[in-house]
Structure 1
Amino acid sequence: MNFKQLHYFLTTVKKGSIAAAARELDIAQPAISQQLASLEREMGGQLLTRSFSGVVLTPAGQVFLNHAIKLVDDFNLAKNELNGIFNRIDCVVKVAMLPSIGNVLSMPLIAEVKARHPKLTLDISTGPSYSVKSWLEEGNVDIALTYEQEVNPQFMTVEPLIREELHLVVSNAATNNEYQHLLSRDTISFWEISQFPLLSPSTKDALGRLIAHYERLTGVSLQHDRAYSGQLMTGLRQVMQGEGVMILPTSAVFHLQESGLVKLLKIVDPEMPRLVLAATNKTAPLNDATARMLSIIKQVVASEQKQHHWCGLLAFAQQAQSRGASLSGSLISN
Structure 2
Amino acid sequence: MNSKQLQYFLVTVQKGSIAAAARELDIAQPAISQQLANLEREMSCALFDRSFKGVSLTAAGKMFEKHAKKLIDDINVAKMELQQLASNQQGTVRVGMLPSIGNVLSMSLIAQVSQWHPQLKLEISTGPSYAVKEWLQSNQVDIALTYEQEIEAGFMSLYPLIEEYMYLVVGVNDASAYYQLLKHRETICFWELSEFELLTPGPKDALGRLIDQYEHDTGVGLKHDKAYSGQLMTGLRQVIQGEGLMILPSAAMYHLEESKVVQSIKIIQPEMKRKVLAATNSNFAMTDAIVKMLAIIQEVTSKEQQVGHWRGNLVGQLVQDDAKLHVPGSVAI
TM interval, short-chain normalised: 0.7 to 0.9
More helix by share: 1
In the alignment, the residues of structure 1 paired with residue 81 and residue 260 of structure 2 have an alpha-carbon distance, to the nearest angstrom, of: 48
> In the alignment, what sits opposite 1:31?
24
Question: Structure 1 residues 264, 91: CA separation in 2 closer, same or farther (over 3 Å shift)?
Answer: same
CA-based RMSD of the aligned residues comes to 3.7
Question: Structure 1 residues 3, 233: CA separation in 2 closer, same or farther (over 3 Å shift)?
Answer: farther
Q: Is contact 2:94-2:122 (8 Å) kept?
A: yes
> Tell me, which stretches of 5 or more residues in structure 1 are unaligned?
18-27, 47-59, 324-334
Q: CA deviation at 1:91?
A: 1.0
Matched, 1:142 2:135: no
Question: Structure 1 residues 318, 84: CA separation in 2 closer, same or farther (over 3 Å shift)?
Answer: closer
Q: CA deviation at 1:321?
A: 11
Q: SS at the partner of 1:302?
A: helix
Q: CA deviation at 1:136?
A: 1.0
Q: Is contact 2:171-2:239 (8 Å) kept?
A: yes
> In the alignment, what sits opposite 2:116?
116
Matched, 1:229 2:222: no
Q: Is contact 1:190-1:268 (8 Å) kept?
A: yes
In the alignment, the residues of structure 2 paired with residue 125 and residue 93 of structure 1 have an alpha-carbon distance, to the nearest angstrom, of: 11
Q: Is contact 2:188-2:267 (8 Å) kept?
A: yes
> In the alignment, what sits opposite 2:57?
none
State the one-letter code of the partner of 2:136. Answer: L
Q: CA deviation at 1:83?
A: 3.0
In the alignment, the residues of structure 2 paired with residue 268 and residue 73 of structure 1 have an alpha-carbon distance, to the nearest angstrom, of: 49
Q: SS at the partner of 2:183?
A: helix
> Tell me, which stretches of 5 or more residues in structure 2 are unaligned?
16-20, 41-46, 50-60, 320-325
Cα-to-partner distance string for 1:251-294 (whole Å, 9 max, x where unaligned): 00000111111111111111111111111112221111111111
In the alignment, the residues of structure 2 paired with residue 72 and residue 153 of structure 1 have an alpha-carbon distance, to the nearest angstrom, of: 25
In the alignment, the residues of structure 1 paired with residue 89 and residue 194 of structure 2 have an alpha-carbon distance, to the nearest angstrom, of: 54
> In the alignment, what sits opposite 1:57?
none
Matched, 1:155 2:148: no
Q: SS at the partner of 1:313?
A: strand
In the alignment, the residues of structure 2 paired with residue 302 and residue 135 of structure 1 have an alpha-carbon distance, to the nearest angstrom, of: 25
In the alignment, the residues of structure 1 paired with residue 206 and residue 128 of structure 2 have an alpha-carbon distance, to the nearest angstrom, of: 8
Q: CA deviation at 1:317?
A: 3.8
> In the alignment, what sits opposite 2:303?
303
Question: Structure 1 residues 75, 173: CA separation in 2 closer, same or farther (over 3 Å shift)?
Answer: same
Q: CA deviation at 1:171?
A: 0.9
Q: Is contact 1:158-1:279 (8 Å) kept?
A: yes
Q: SS at the partner of 1:188?
A: strand
Q: SS at the partner of 2:100?
A: helix
In the alignment, the residues of structure 1 paired with residue 6 and residue 282 of structure 2 have an alpha-carbon distance, to the nearest angstrom, of: 24
Q: CA deviation at 1:45?
A: 5.6
Question: Structure 1 residues 317, 291: CA separation in 2 closer, same or farther (over 3 Å shift)?
Answer: closer
Question: Structure 1 residues 321, 148: CA separation in 2 closer, same or farther (over 3 Å shift)?
Answer: closer
Question: Structure 1 residues 99, 3: CA separation in 2 closer, same or farther (over 3 Å shift)?
Answer: farther
Q: CA deviation at 1:123?
A: 0.5
In the alignment, the residues of structure 1 paired with residue 297 and residue 237 of structure 2 have an alpha-carbon distance, to the nearest angstrom, of: 29
Q: SS at the partner of 1:251?
A: helix
Instruction: Spell out the pairing of 1:32-51 with structure 2 (5 A cutoff).
Output: 44=47
> In the alignment, what sits opposite 2:220?
220
State the one-letter code of the partner of 1:211. Answer: I
State the one-letter code of the partner of 1:163. Answer: E
State the one-letter code of the partner of 1:310. Answer: W
Question: Structure 1 residues 113, 181: CA separation in 2 closer, same or farther (over 3 Å shift)?
Answer: same
Matched, 1:185 2:185: yes
Question: Structure 1 residues 271, 30: CA separation in 2 closer, same or farther (over 3 Å shift)?
Answer: farther
Q: Is contact 1:81-1:285 (8 Å) kept?
A: no
In the alignment, the residues of structure 1 paired with residue 7 and residue 180 of structure 2 have an alpha-carbon distance, to the nearest angstrom, of: 56
Q: CA deviation at 1:181?
A: 2.6
